[in-house]
Amino acid sequence: MTKIKAILTDLDGTLYRCPKYEAEIKRLTLEIVSEKLGVSVEEAQHRLTEARKICVTLTRSIEYVGVSRHYFYDELSKRLRYTELLKPDPKIAEFLRQLRSMGYKVAIITNSGRPHALGTMGALKIPLDAVDALITSSEVEPKTSPKPYLRGLELLGVPAKETVYMGDRVEDEVKPAKELGMITVLVSNQEVVSPWVDYVIDSPFKLLEVLKKLEAC
Ligand SMILES: [Mg+2]
């Protein structure tokens, strides 16, 4: 029997989805990268698209084209109008607290830098104390590196095989979690069959059903 002790979850696209917010982040990303590199927005877009083919995640692609992720997320957090674009969703904090009241340790692992992650969480009304830990790319290398996952396990004091990782992207974040031995849950509206994915749910709140199944094994 596998006794699950902890949940590591991604933030963006997993605990919430907001296309309008994502579109504005995309626009600002091109603005910041083009300014920093001294190239047109079109050229910045081209370089990022090419980088993404190699680096998989946006955060790593931004670094690949020559902009530090720390600079990028600082700038993004200064320019993004968080509370205008993202509405509070008290269900998320309630869900995270519910998981903890059931005895699970919970950490958010995001490739965002800390100021941007806190801006997003603030707008959604997810207080820091709703989770046991928040791991961002300000402290540790971003996913797809194993480092943020290992930091999460270390902070929560749990082994990988007793941990569930929940995210919305297979190659970017679920694959490294599976490679470390975690049980993986993909949040997706589509049926996905992948050796890296153990369960697919169309809403993060359905994680409770997955945990029930796992506890019954
Ligand atoms: Mg995500």
Task: For 87-115, write each residue's pLDDT tens digit.
Answer: 999 999 999 999 999 999 999 999 999 99
CA–centroid distance, 57 to ligand 1, in Å, is 10
Task: Inform me whether the pLDDT recorded for 134 exceeds 60.
Answer: yes
Name the residues around ion ligand 1, CB cutoff 5 A: 10, 12-13, 168
Look up the pTM and report it. 0.95
The pLDDT tens digits for 40-67 are 999 999 999 999 999 989 999 999 999 9
Q: Are residues 24 and 49 located together in one domain of the fold?
A: yes
Q: Are residues 116 and 41 located together in one domain of the fold?
A: no
Q: How many domains are there within the chain?
A: 2
With residue 9 as reference, give the H or E element that holds it.
strand 6-9
Q: Are residues 72 and 114 located together in one domain of the fold?
A: no
CA–centroid distance, 53 to ligand 1, in Å, is 17
Cβ atoms 32, 105 nearer than 8 A? no
CA–centroid distance, 170 to ligand 1, in Å, is 10
In a domain, 1, yes or no: no
Cβ atoms 158, 196 nearer than 8 A? no
- For position 217, what pLDDT does the model report? 77
- For position 197, what pLDDT does the model report? 98
- Amino acid letter for position 133: A
Residue 11 sits at the vertex; the CA angle it makes with 65 and 75, to the nearest 5 degrees, is 40
CA–centroid distance, 78 to ligand 1, in Å, is 21
Q: Are residues 123 and 76 located together in one domain of the fold?
A: no
Alpha-carbon span 125 to 94, nearest angstrom: 10
Residue 14 sits at the vertex; the CA angle it makes with 8 and 18, to the nearest 5 degrees, is 150
CA–centroid distance, 168 to ligand 1, in Å, is 5
- Amino acid letter for position 171: E
Q: Are residues 69 and 121 located together in one domain of the fold?
A: no
The pLDDT tens digits for 113-126 are 999 999 999 999 99
- For position 1, what pLDDT does the model report? 53
CA–centroid distance, 187 to ligand 1, in Å, is 9
CA–centroid distance, 66 to ligand 1, in Å, is 22
Mean pLDDT score of the chain: 97
